[in-house]
């Protein structure tokens, strides 16, 4: 990285950053900071309703007092589980597919398009579609499983509190796998071919080539993907909302910080209660949990940047 | 008028033009656009008709109807109102859904309107501090529906006691027919079952006591209701825990199950849409002893409220007045096959389920709500979320009915004033 | 697509790869096929014959879906809104990422960190202050309001992605350009951007899709029918109690078309970028 003395002036780089920074600060940061303040009030969210200052009472309610604290920590645990699953199924499986794509001669274009296709439909429609497919009686999945004699696998996917969360995550991965595959592919392809070919001539096999040569170079991108998985895991909301409702059932087994927030701030199915103050506090807590870890991720990423 | 002109002429600059009094609302004969929002997109035609009627009455009102899916309705509505850009007339859920807007002075009291077709009980559900704040547009009722053909073929009659109901289900099961369709994946559907059984078993006095804090949800009577729900699980379809209510409805409508517990709104929109020739029957949750009173859980779904910040208040009030009319109610009933708020409505013989529901509502309603649209709905965690989730745990065998009831009580006691002891 | 290996000895491995990729392809294609088949069935047939071939294909569903979802108007709006927003995102983010990835200045890590923090800000929480801001800027019920919001919101993700790719470009190219007297903008436009084409294409595709399918912001910030976008139009098929699946799927099939076009266009960019990289 060099410092430019020529050009538009020493501080011209601020002009480059300005549009992005301005729009980001105005339309994302400012509204967020504004709503953080809500966390210190008890407020239903209805305009004109009284805002009562309660200081840290909301935070206490979320972190320590049952029943909220129970729901909070349970949801938090679920978010961690989702992260683990995403690591395996999204980054792990995605990179595997990307690597395979670099190893085959034909069909790459076709596979790329197909892997990416689910992303073209919105997550909401994806959720509806898979709801239909996973129906225990009429759904295609169980229907197919029964047809090939695997009856014992025809389980109530979205109705069993042990299966529901992994199932929902699997659907999310189905929707978004195109991303790690494309990113991984872009990264793997930018590895200079001559380096790889030289190593191959020296007798390295496919796997060695990947781990010893390709992987170190794409490591920053991998860390990126992992970091995004982490943030994705903690921000996951839409797919659960669509498939399991704001109540995140069955029996809270798919409850995440996102659904807990929505239920608290805007009310769940059939309920009319809304607590924006409490919801805001919840969002802030979620934010504070995720921030240090994502900063650590970006630090790691910079550390492992290899200049080619 | 002249006095004010003189005063203003003297008090301010000398002008030849008489000052006009400020007009906060548009005069009724000027063309006015009224924004109406609802969580029921299917009511679009209803409001087109309303616009025609209002125009025929000489009101120059154009109605812009916006139907927003119920899952997004609240967040969009609250956001718009926070910015002062809310609609002029909008639907609010009965009970605390209306109360919260009334409390915050976001909607106007509607006592000036004529409510002669409305029972006081209905108006109470949309009232705050003794004033009515919305025009109830629908009353929803819950009941057991059954497939008449299946019953007749198997020589089954409507059960007169709970034990008879269980015996009936046993008999059906023995013949290989799934007795009951349960959509346990949707927690709200399970809550409906509790509502229906609780209406008969618990009654108004229990509900009043619970609201006052004299009894609570850990009470053996409530536990018994949950025990009955638990009993039903062996008569539900396979993998009912993963069945959504809409799939349960499909199973019932295609004759795969004999019975289902549902609301009156499902008859036209689901069952008869799937199978127009289906012969339906219904019965309320039977009492423990044959001959004991049965009751129907009937609740006001929602009402039309007037935004206190509306810039076309006059037109909004006229529209609200129209929704209180028998004409509007009739149109609502005809379009949706649901029970409107105004009782001066005729139901055709071609809609027997509707007629029966109305009759039961008039004869044996539960007057005090204890679950949906009750005071227990208004805090967090609310009763619907808590009860629904715990029912799912109970039906999966993870907790007993006793534990489920206690969990609900614990959740409510964390915020409900009368339970905090 | 060129593979890195030309060694025929390793054919078995390649067959294995095809097996894995192919199986996954089936898992993707099957639900989408079901969706397409469902789009030409009647509502009753969806219940009686959910997975089979339609008995009497109802192509009229497409016409009906087009009219009911008001595609004529909404399509135009969606295209305009999405393309403009995506272009704006690419422009703003690439400029910022170029600097953040290659120029050393004291506040660099702090600015970058500030953008990264945005990745964890939850979506629907700040809707009310955002609404008030848009209202005060008189941008309610205007497409430009949404464009600005989408751009601001997309910065964390786009910058996150692009910065890494910018960082990986060797410095020799920049140094050569400086020697020839190129200014910063010229370097950015002529040298840097073309080298990160795959990344730009990736960001473009994902942002395009996200905005194309976004339902919540148009719902909140737009009022007039004539400004609405396709997802809002699709919501008409989700009734309070029953969903009109056949029409919904037909409408979806129609709305996916432009997405496919953009994807193919971006794929070309993607590949063009790869060959450029090889010439490096």
Say yes or no: C56 contacts chain B, CB-CB below 8 A. Answer: no
Q: What is the mean pLDDT of chain A?
A: 84
Please report the pLDDT score of residue C215 as a whole number. Answer: 86
Longest dimension (CA), chain B: 96
Determine whether the interchain pair C215/A283 forms a contact, defined as Cβ–Cβ distance below 8 Å. no
Specify the residue for token string 């919840």: A282
Q: Which CATH architecture has domain A76-303?
A: Orthogonal Bundle (1.10)
Residue B252: pLDDT band with limits 50, 70, 90: very high
The Cα B244–Cα A131 span in angstroms is: 9
Domain-by-domain residue ranges, chain A?
Answer: 76-303
Residue A261 has which token pair? 């927030």
Residue C199 has which token pair? 């990344």
Mean local confidence (pLDDT), B116-127: 88
CATH of domain B23-138+301-357: 3.40.190.10
| H runs (alpha helix) in B175-215 | 187-201, 203-212
Determine whether the interchain pair B82/C131 forms a contact, defined as Cβ–Cβ distance below 8 Å. yes
Q: What is the mean pLDDT of chain B?
A: 88
Residue B90: pLDDT band with limits 50, 70, 90: very high
DSSP codes joined into one string, B220-239: HHHHHHHHHHHHHGGGBPTT
Those residues with Cβ within 8 angstroms of residue B10's Cβ, 6 or more apart along the chain or in another chain: none
Mean local confidence (pLDDT), B106-130: 90
pTM of the full predicted structure? 0.86
pLDDT at A294 over 80: no
pLDDT at B55 over 50: yes
* A contact chains, 3+ CB pairs < 8 A: B, C
Nearest to C127 among B42, B75, B266 (CB): B75
Determine whether the interchain pair A67/B184 forms a contact, defined as Cβ–Cβ distance below 8 Å. no
Nearest to C219 among B70, B76, B82 (CB): B76
ipTM of the complex: 0.84
| A308 class by beta-carbon count within 10 Å (0-12 exposed, 13-18 middle, 19+ buried) | exposed
Q: Which residues of chain B are within 8 Å of residue A268 when distances are taken between CB atoms?
A: 382, 384-385
Least Cα distance to C69 among C42, C39, C97, C48 occurs for C39
Range of B189-198, B378-387, C190-199 with top mean pLDDT? B189-198
Please report the pLDDT score of residue C191 as a whole number. Answer: 77
The Cα A278–Cα B48 span in angstroms is: 40
Q: Which residues of chain B are within 8 Å of residue A70 when distances are taken between CB atoms?
A: none
Q: Which residues of chain C are within 8 Å of residue B270 when distances are taken between CB atoms?
A: 241-242
Q: Which residues of chain A are within 8 Å of residue B398 when distances are taken between CB atoms?
A: 161, 251
Q: What is the pLDDT of residues B285-319, one digit of tens each?
A: 999 998 899 999 999 999 999 999 999 999 999 99
Say yes or no: B76 contacts chain A, CB-CB below 8 A. Answer: no
The CA-based angle B320-B326-B330, given to 5 degrees, is 105
Tell whether the torsion through CA atoms of B193, B194, B197 and B203 is positive or negative: negative
Which 8-state DSSP code applies to residue B18? P
Determine whether the interchain pair A159/B238 forms a contact, defined as Cβ–Cβ distance below 8 Å. no
The partner residues of B296 in beta bridges, in order of sequence, read B365
Interface probe, candidates B85, B248, B332, chain C, greatest C C-beta count within 10 A: B85
CA-CA-CA-CA torsion for C226, C230, C236, C239, nearest 10 degrees? -150
Instruction: Tell me the three state secondary structure of residue A36.
Output: helix
Please report the pLDDT score of residue C8 as a whole number. Answer: 56
By C-alpha distance, the chain B residue nearest A162 is B396
Instruction: Give the distance, in angstroms, between the CA of residue A210 and the centroid of all CA atoms in the same chain.
Output: 26
Residue B25: pLDDT band with limits 50, 70, 90: low
The partner residues of B257 in beta bridges, in order of sequence, read B178
Residue B167 has which token pair? 């015996």
Please report the pLDDT score of residue B364 as a whole number. Answer: 92
CB atoms closer than 10 angstroms to residue A249: 30
| H runs (alpha helix) in chain A | 13-24, 30-37, 57-63, 68-86, 93-103, 108-116, 123-133, 140-147, 164-176, 178-189, 193-201, 206-208, 215-235, 238-244, 257-266, 276-303
Those residues with Cβ within 8 angstroms of residue B346's Cβ, 6 or more apart along the chain or in another chain: B330
DSSP codes joined into one string, B280-329: EEEEPPPPSSTTS---B-EEEEEEEEEBTT-TTHHHHHHHHHHHTSHHHH
Mean local confidence (pLDDT), A145-166: 88
Task: Express as a percent the part of chain A with pLDDT over 90.
Answer: 25
Q: b or e along A139-162 (b: 16 or more beta carbons within 10 Å of the residue's beta carbon)?
A: bbbbbebeeeeeeeebbbbbbbbe
CA atoms within 13 A on the CB side of A243: 32
Please report the pLDDT score of residue A274 as a whole number. Answer: 64
pLDDT at B240 over 90: yes
Please report the pLDDT score of residue B41 as a whole number. Answer: 84
pLDDT at A224 over 50: yes
The Cα B243–Cα A131 span in angstroms is: 10
Whether A40 contacts A54, CB under 8 Å: yes
Interface probe, candidates C240, C246, C247, chain B, greatest B C-beta count within 10 A: C240
Task: Express as a percent the part of chain A with pLDDT over 70.
Answer: 92
Instruction: Tell me the three state secondary structure of residue B383.
Output: helix
Give the containing element (helix H, strand E) for B127: strand B127-128
pLDDT at B2 over 50: no
Average the pLDDT over each of A130-139, A206-215, B182-191, C14-23 and give the range with the smallest value. A206-215
Residue C259 has which token pair? 């997405």
By C-alpha distance, the chain C residue nearest B72 is C216
Which 8-state DSSP code applies to residue B20? P
Least Cα distance to A281 among A55, A94, A100 occurs for A55
Check whether domain C68-279 has CATH 3.30.420.40, yes or no: no
Whether B398 contacts B387, CB under 8 Å: no
The Cα A125–Cα C252 span in angstroms is: 9
Q: Which CATH architecture has domain B140-298+359-419?
A: 3-Layer(aba) Sandwich (3.40)
The Cα A199–Cα A205 span in angstroms is: 9
Please report the pLDDT score of residue B196 as a whole number. Answer: 95
Say yes or no: C122 contacts chain B, CB-CB below 8 A. Answer: no
pLDDT at B9 over 60: no
Please report the pLDDT score of residue B5 as a whole number. Answer: 42
Say yes or no: C126 contacts chain B, CB-CB below 8 A. Answer: no
Give the containing element (helix H, strand E) for B36: strand B32-38
Q: Which residues of chain B are within 8 Å of residue C44 when distances are taken between CB atoms?
A: 274
Range of A149-163, A294-308, B164-178, C238-252 with top mean pLDDT? B164-178
Which 8-state DSSP code applies to residue A47? T
Q: Which residues of chain A are within 8 Å of residue C2 when distances are taken between CB atoms?
A: 105
* B contact chains, 3+ CB pairs < 8 A: A, C
The Cα C125–Cα C5 span in angstroms is: 50
Which C residues, 135 through 164, put their C-beta within 8 Å of a C-beta on chain B? Answer: 135, 140
Q: Which residues of chain B are within 8 Å of residue C124 when distances are taken between CB atoms?
A: 75
CA distances, B421 to each of B218, B383, B415, C9 (Å): 14, 18, 11, 79
pLDDT at B335 over 80: yes
Please report the pLDDT score of residue B24 as a whole number. Answer: 52
| H runs (alpha helix) in chain C | 11-39, 43-48, 60-68, 71-102, 108-117, 127-136, 143-167, 171-179, 184-186, 193-195, 197-212, 216-221, 230-234, 245-279
Mean local confidence (pLDDT), B413-419: 90
Determine whether the interchain pair C242/B273 forms a contact, defined as Cβ–Cβ distance below 8 Å. yes
pLDDT at A48 over 80: no
Please report the pLDDT score of residue B242 as a whole number. Answer: 92
Distance from CA of B216 to the nearest CA of C (A): 33
Mean local confidence (pLDDT), A31-48: 83
pLDDT at B4 over 60: no
Say yes or no: C174 contacts chain A, CB-CB below 8 A. Answer: yes
Tell whether the torsion through CA atoms of A275, A278, A284 and A287 is positive or negative: negative
Mean local confidence (pLDDT), A56-60: 88
Q: Which residues of chain B are within 8 Å of residue A270 when distances are taken between CB atoms?
A: 188, 191, 372, 377, 382, 384, 388
The Cα A105–Cα B163 span in angstroms is: 70
Please report the pLDDT score of residue C273 as a whole number. Answer: 60
The Cα B260–Cα B286 span in angstroms is: 14
Q: What is the pLDDT of residues A184-194, one digit of tens each?
A: 888 888 788 88
Nearest to A140 among C51, C111, C202 (CB): C51
pLDDT tens over chain C, length 280 residues: 445 445 555 677 888 889 999 999 999 988 888 888 888 888 777 777 777 788 888 888 888 888 887 888 898 999 999 999 999 999 999 999 998 888 888 888 889 888 988 887 777 778 888 998 999 999 999 999 999 999 999 999 899 888 888 887 888 877 887 777 777 788 888 778 887 887 888 889 889 989 999 988 998 999 888 899 988 888 777 765 667 778 888 888 888 777 778 777 777 776 666 555 444 4
Question: Higher pLDDT residue, B246 or B11?
Answer: B246
Distance from CA of C139 to the nearest CA of B (A): 13
Query: Residue C80: phi, psi to the nearest 5?
Result: -60, -50
Specify the residue for token string 């409001």: B47
Specify the residue for token string 């009102």: B61
């Amino acid at each position: 990285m060099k410092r430019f003395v020529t050009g538009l002036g020493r501080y011209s780089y601020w002009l480059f950053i300005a549009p992005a920074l301005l729009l980001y600060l105005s339309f994302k940061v400012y509204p967020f900071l504004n709503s953080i303040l809500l966390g210190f009030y008890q407020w239903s969210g209805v305009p004109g309703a009284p805002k009562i200052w309660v200081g840290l009472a909301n935070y206490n309610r979320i972190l320590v007092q049952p029943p909220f604290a129970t729901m909070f920590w349970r949801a938090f645990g679920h978010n961690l589980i989702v992260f683990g699953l995403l690591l395996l199924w999204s980054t792990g499986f995605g990179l595997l597919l990307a690597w395979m794509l670099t190893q085959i001669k034909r069909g790459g274009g076709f596979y790329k398009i197909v892997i990416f296709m689910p992303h073209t439909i919105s997550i909401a429609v994806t959720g509806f579609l898979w709801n239909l497919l996973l129906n225990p009686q009429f759904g295609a999945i169980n229907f197919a499983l029964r047809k090939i004699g695997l009856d014992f696998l025809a389980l109530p996917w979205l109705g069993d509190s042990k299966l529901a969360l992994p199932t929902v995550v699997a659907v999310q991965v189905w929707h978004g796998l195109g991303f790690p595959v494309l990113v991984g592919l872009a990264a793997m392809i930018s590895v200079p071919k001559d380096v790889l070919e030289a190593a191959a001539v020296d007798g390295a096999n496919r796997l060695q080539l990947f781990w010893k040569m390709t992987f170190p170079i794409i490591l920053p991108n991998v860390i990126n993907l992992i970091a995004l998985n982490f943030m994705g895991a903690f921000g996951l909301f839409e797919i659960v909302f669509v498939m399991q409702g704001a109540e995140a059932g069955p029996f809270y087994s798919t409850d995440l910080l996102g659904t807990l927030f929505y239920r608290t701030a805007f009310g769940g199915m059939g309920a009319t209660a809304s607590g924006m103050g409490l919801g805001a506090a919840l969002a802030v807590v979620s934010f504070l949990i995720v921030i240090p870890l994502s900063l650590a991720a970006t630090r790691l990423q910079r550390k492992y940047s290899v200049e080619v | 008028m002249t006095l004010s002109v003189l005063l203003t002429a003297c008090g301010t600059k000398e002008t030849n033009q008489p000052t006009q009094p400020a007009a906060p609302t548009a005069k009724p004969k000027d063309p006015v656009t009224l924004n109406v929002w609802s969580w029921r997109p299917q009511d679009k035609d209803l409001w087109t008709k309303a616009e025609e009627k209002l125009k025929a009455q000489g009101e120059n009102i154009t109605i812009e109807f916006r139907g927003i899916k119920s899952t997004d309705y609240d967040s969009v509505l609250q956001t718009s109102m926070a910015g002062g850009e809310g609609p002029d007339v909008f639907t609010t859920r009965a009970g605390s859904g209306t109360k919260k807007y009334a409390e915050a002075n976001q909607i106007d009291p509607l006592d000036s309107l004529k409510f002669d077709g409305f029972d006081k009980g209905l108006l109470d559900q949309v009232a705050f501090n003794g004033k009515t704040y919305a025009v109830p547009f629908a009353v929803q009722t819950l009941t057991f529906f059954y497939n008449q053909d299946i019953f007749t073929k198997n020589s089954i009659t409507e059960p007169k006691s709970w034990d008879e109901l269980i015996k009936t289900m046993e008999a059906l099961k023995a013949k290989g027919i799934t007795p009951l369709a349960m959509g346990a994946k949707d927690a709200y559907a399970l809550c409906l079952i509790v509502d229906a059984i609780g209406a008969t078993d618990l009654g108004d006095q229990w509900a009043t006591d619970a609201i006052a804090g004299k009894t609570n949800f850990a009470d053996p009577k409530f536990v018994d209701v949950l025990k009955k729900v638990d009993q039903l699980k062996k008569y539900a379809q396979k993998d009912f825990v993963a069945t959504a209510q809409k799939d349960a409805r499909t199973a019932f409508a295609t004759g795969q199950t004999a019975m289902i517990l549902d609301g009156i709104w499902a008859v036209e929109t689901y069952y008869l849409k799937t199978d127009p020739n289906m012969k339906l029957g219904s019965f309320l949750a039977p009492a423990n002893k044959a001959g004991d009173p049965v009751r129907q859980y009937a609740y006001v779904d929602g009402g039309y409220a007037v935004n206190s910040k509306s810039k076309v208040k006059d037109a909004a009030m006229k529209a609200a007045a129209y929704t209180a009319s028998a004409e509007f109610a009739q149109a609502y009933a005809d379009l949706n096959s649901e029970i409107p708020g105004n009782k001066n409505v005729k139901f055709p013989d071609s809609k027997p389920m509707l007629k029966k529901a109305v009759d039961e509502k008039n004869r044996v309603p539960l007057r005090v709500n204890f679950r949906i649209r009750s005071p227990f709905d208004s805090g967090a965690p609310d009763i619907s979320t808590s009860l629904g989730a715990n029912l799912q745990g109970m039906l999966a065998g993870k907790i007993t009915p006793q534990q489920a009831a206690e969990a609900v009580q614990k959740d409510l006691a964390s915020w409900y004033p009368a339970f905090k002891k | 697509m060129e593979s890195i290996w030309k060694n025929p000895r390793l054919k078995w491995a390649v067959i294995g790869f095809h097996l894995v990729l192919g199986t996954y392809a089936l898992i993707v294609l099957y639900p989408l096929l079901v969706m397409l088949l469902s789009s030409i069935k009647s509502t009753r047939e969806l219940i009686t014959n959910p997975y089979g071939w339609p008995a009497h294909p109802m192509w009229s569903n497409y016409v009906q879906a087009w009219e009911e979802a008001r595609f004529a108007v909404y399509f135009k709006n969606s295209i305009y809104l999405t393309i403009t927003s995506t272009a704006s995102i690419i422009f703003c983010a690439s400029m910022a990422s170029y600097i953040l990835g290659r120029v050393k200045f004291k506040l660099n890590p702090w600015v970058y960190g500030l953008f990264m923090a945005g990745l964890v800000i939850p979506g629907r929480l700040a809707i009310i202050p955002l609404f008030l801001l848009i209202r005060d800027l008189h941008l309610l019920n205007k497409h430009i309001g949404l464009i600005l919001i989408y751009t601001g919101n997309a910065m964390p993700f786009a910058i996150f992605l692009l910065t890494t790719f910018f960082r990986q470009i060797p410095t020799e190219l920049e140094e050569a350009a400086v020697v020839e007297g190129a200014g910063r903008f010229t370097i950015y436009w002529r040298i840097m951007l073309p080298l990160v084409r795959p990344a730009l294409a990736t960001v473009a595709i994902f942002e395009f899709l996200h905005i194309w399918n976004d339902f919540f912001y148009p719902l909140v910030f737009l009022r007039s029918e004539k400004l609405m976008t396709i997802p809002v139009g699709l919501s008409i098929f989700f009734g309070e109690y029953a969903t009109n699946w056949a029409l919904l799927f037909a409408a979806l099939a129609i709305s996916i078309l432009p997405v496919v076009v953009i994807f193919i266009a971006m794929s070309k960019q993607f590949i063009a970028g790869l060959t450029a990289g090889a010439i490096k």
